[in-house]
Amino acid sequence: MLIFYFTATGNSLSVAKRIGGELLSIPQIIDRPELDFKDDAIGLVFPIYGYGPPKMVKRFLEKATWAAEYAFAIGTYGNKPGAAMENMQNGTRRCQRPFDYAESLLMVDNYLPYYDTKDQIAKLGEKRTEENLVRIVEEVKARRPRWAVATQSQRADTMFVQSRRRPFLDGNKAKSYLVDETCDRCGVCAKVCPAHNIEVAHDGISFLERCEFCLACVHLCPQRALRLRREKGRARFMNPEVTLDEIIEANNRTNNQTNLAPT
């Protein structure tokens, strides 16, 4: 079984690890000249941003082809999934092997412009994350089908939000970041950035124009030197089921990006 995943603070990676199989980080493979895969089962695990997948996940789906007896998609989210999973299944049904199974999983919401992460962590028990993750893993391993069906309200909300996402997708969201004097230029922010959007020099760090706004750099800075111009709190989050080294291994693109195209 192959599982493609995109992770920032570890939620989606933790889900992929629980399902098992061979895990392939989308940031590490996205710029391969060929993205053709074959296995008995193939899965996709990603965070839902604004009722849809991250930019890089969308680009991966546009480029990749796969052959599998069973295909599944899991979207992790912190507030509402909208019609993300229904759209995901409908999209693959039109262009390639469709997902037989699509489900979303409510987890900690770490979107700092809207939520105080400390409060979100405290509410984790109410979200039944572990219970639902156990069910999802069992269903996927049993190769069960699940068709995602959104409500009319979810579809309407998704259409509205998606119509306003263009500024969110322009790659310049890193302009929302501030770096304070506690930054010691350790380079962790650059290593956890899936878009290879951060450059570290002796005199500071700089941001390019392909930001995914995944907030990995902000949440995982060891010094907590990175913050947003507008955020609800200074608490930070990393999924306890993964390590910083695992996220770096998944997202660090500094060694394989000689001709990186904007994402």
The model's pTM: 0.92
Average pLDDT score, the chain: 90
H/E stretch holding 157 reads helix 152-163
Parts of the chain belonging to CATH 3.30.70.20? 168-251
Q: Which residue type, as a one-letter code, is found at position 195?
A: A
Beta strands in 27-136 (DSSP E): 36-47, 65-77, 101-106
Assign a CATH topology to domain 2-163: Rossmann fold (3.40.50)
**pLDDT per residue as tens digits for the range 123-163:** 888 899 999 999 999 999 999 999 999 999 999 999 998 88
- For helices 11-19 and 129-141, what crossing angle results, to 10°? 40
DSSP 96: S
Res 162: pLDDT: 82
Q: Hey, is 70 helix, strand or coil?
A: strand
Q: Which CATH architecture has domain 168-251?
A: 2-Layer Sandwich (3.30)
- Alpha helices by DSSP H, listed for 205-243, are 216-220
Q: Is the pLDDT of residue 261 over 50?
A: no
